Amino acid sequence: MKRAGSLLLLMCCVAMAAAQTGWSPLSREVERPYAKYLQAYGSDAHTAVRPYSTVSLRTAMPVDSLLPKARWTTLDRWAGKGNGRKFRWGPLLEANGGYEAGSASGSRYRGGAGLWADIDAGAKLNFHLDAQGWGERLPGYLDSLARATQVSPGEGYAFGSAPNVTHYDWNAHLSWDAHKYINITLGRGKNSFGEGYRSLFLSDEAYSYPYLRISTTIWRIKYVNLFSMMNDIRGAKGVSSDFQRKYSSMHYLSWNATKRINVAVFEAIMWSSGDERYPRGFDVNYLNPVLFYRPAEYRIGSPDNALLGFAVNVKAGKHVLFYGQFMLDEFLAEQVRNGYGWWGNKQAGQLGVNAYEAFGVRGLQLRAEWNLVRPFMYTHSDTRQNYAHMGQPLAHPYGSNLQEALVQADLCRGPWNLSLHASMAWMGSDSVDSYGNNIFRPEDERPILQGYGYYNFNYVIGRYRQQEVFHTEVRAGYTLDPRSATRLEVGYTFRVHTPVWTPTYTTNYVRVGLMCYFRDRHPEQAVRYVLR
């Protein structure tokens, strides 16, 4: 068994490392064989910037420690007929079913099919394409979310009527190493900044989008410029040509200050493309790759949505990482110090620890994380410029006005995988007025005190109609294809949603079958708003 596991690990390493300029799928399950080495003491990888380049994955893995007798001819046959080092491809398949008991009950299923392909056009050019479509009957709580937001979380617009939905996703990129230190990638897909399971900067929770990414890595510094086009789907009824376009420009500067300490700065701006009366399109003022966006806003008199973040990551021992994020949307120091809960103090924070080979147990990864997002964070007076895409937040999936604690344990031995993930979230809710929960509502919809104007203070997390969500998932599986993280798997989900105004909603969901984790999945979701 140990020998077979080493062979699978080696095949994954070689298949992913063949491309010189390509990028790994944005999947923690695909990355798992490499993650311990990327995070280890002495590694100079900037692990908060994902997806990872195949070069960094190749250099991170100590191949000499793996099974030495594997040969290229064997690997090529395993990869598929016609696969070579310049062209690689593989299927993306899912077929699983189960039963849900609790507040909603009945059979559930998920079926999907697609493929991925990579082509190396010389030493500096790589092309990637992957596409997948699904048909499924969602668990009750996700079905409610799909009907409220019109999308399947992270996987596209949900077509069809309950309880059956269909959706699809596709990603592609052209990656070019323009210089020894510079990569330029034009594509459609997702990006993520942050060490945590969640990211308060930019996560991979939402749907794919077109982007241009310029990555510069020199000495101990990595600097990423990310320009993207996103969609506001409200009012379009699924007609893509009627989606409202919005644009974003982001910078992420990561500096490995020492072998153990990394510090980073993140900034982003979101703006609407305008409308027929005031068309705007892409604002070239935000193409400047080096300045901070907030001064640019003031210079051009812009009302756009600007955010600023800071991160610190500290390595302890060989494989333990402590990490933190702090995100600002708006900030007045005086209002923070007085502690009155001013509505305009929009901040978010994260603290966490991630450990590989935890307590000396081979293959054991442990994570603990705490997230806090204040009311009205990620909102904007012009809701077309909120921090969201395709009906989903670009940061934490619960949006704003929340606290969350989560713990995760993953044990991997060769192709075998055992996982236990649990999270507890405390969130506020809106009513006729906005209490800072729904990021698709403007800030001027907060309560009004007759004779005094807007209610501006005492906005604390969970203040109005608090709800709690406890989510636990246990999975056990056998990996069939490490390149796409396809497994034979059995899983169990237990979820309790406790709003103060309605009965408790419970979920007991058991499933078994073929699962594909080529894309990251985030099953911890809750309905926080309804989009029309």
The average confidence (pLDDT) of the chain is 87
The answer to whether residues 31 and 61 touch, using CB atoms and an 8 Å cutoff, is: no
For residue 500, the model assigns a pLDDT of 83
Tell me: pLDDT of 3 over 50.
no
For residue 300, the model assigns a pLDDT of 52
Alpha helix stretches (DSSP H) within 63-204: 72-79, 140-149
Angle at 518 between CA 92 and CA 263, to 5 degrees: 165
Determine which of 61-65, 88-92, 145-149, 484-488 has the lowest per-residue pLDDT on average. 61-65
Q: How far apart are CA 127 and CA 23, in angstroms?
A: 10
pLDDT digits (tens, 9 = 90+) for 414-436: 999 999 999 999 999 888 899 99
Amino acid at position 475, single letter: R
Tell me: pLDDT of 130 over 50.
yes
For residue 280, the model assigns a pLDDT of 77
Please give the average per-residue pLDDT across 160-168, as a whole number: 86
Q: How far apart are CA 269 and CA 247, in angstroms?
A: 8
Instruction: Spell out a b/e string for 51-81, using b for 16 or more CB atoms within 10 Å of the CB, else e.
Output: bbbbbbbbbbbeeeebbeeeeeeebbebbee
Report residue 110's pLDDT band, with 50, 70 and 90 as the boundaries: very high
The answer to whether residues 519 and 25 touch, using CB atoms and an 8 Å cutoff, is: yes
For residue 19, the model assigns a pLDDT of 38
For residue 60, the model assigns a pLDDT of 72
pLDDT digits (tens, 9 = 90+) for 87-106: 999 999 999 999 999 999 99
Residues 6 or more apart whose CB falls under 8 angstroms from that of 482 comprise 8, 9, 11, 12, 15, 30, 33, 415
pLDDT digits (tens, 9 = 90+) for 280-333: 778 777 887 765 666 655 555 468 899 999 999 999 999 999 999 999 987 777
If you write DSSP's letter for every residue of 41-64 in order, what string do you get? Answer: TT----TTEESPBHHHHHHHS-GG
For residue 282, the model assigns a pLDDT of 80
Q: How far apart are CA 218 and CA 223, in angstroms?
A: 9
Q: How far apart are CA 442 and CA 459, in angstroms?
A: 15
Tell me: pLDDT of 250 over 70.
yes
**Domains annotated on the chain, with CATH:** 2-516 (2.40.160)
Q: How far apart are CA 199 and CA 324, in angstroms?
A: 10
Alpha helix stretches (DSSP H) within 92-248: 140-149
Closest CA to 382 of 200, 201, 234, 530: 234
pLDDT digits (tens, 9 = 90+) for 179-225: 999 999 999 999 999 999 999 999 999 999 999 999 999 999 999 99
Residues 6 or more apart whose CB falls under 8 angstroms from that of 450 comprise none
CA 529 to chain centre: 20
pLDDT digits (tens, 9 = 90+) for 168-187: 999 999 999 999 999 999 99
307 torsion bin: left (phi>0), alpha (psi -120 to 50), beta (else): beta
Tell me: pLDDT of 14 over 60.
no
Report residue 12's pLDDT band, with 50, 70 and 90 as the boundaries: very low
By percentage, how much of the chain surpasses pLDDT 90?
69
Angle at 398 between CA 394 and CA 401, to 5 degrees: 110
For residue 71, the model assigns a pLDDT of 30
Amino acid at position 86, single letter: K
Tell me: pLDDT of 65 over 80.
no
If you write DSSP's letter for every residue of 299-353 in order, what string do you get? Answer: HHT---EEEEEEEEEEEETTTEEEEEEEEEEE--HHHHHHTS--TT-EEEEEEEE
Q: How far apart are CA 424 and CA 421, in angstroms?
A: 11
Tell me: pLDDT of 488 over 80.
yes
Please give the average per-residue pLDDT across 478-489, as a whole number: 95
Phi, psi of 204 (to 5 degrees): -105, 25
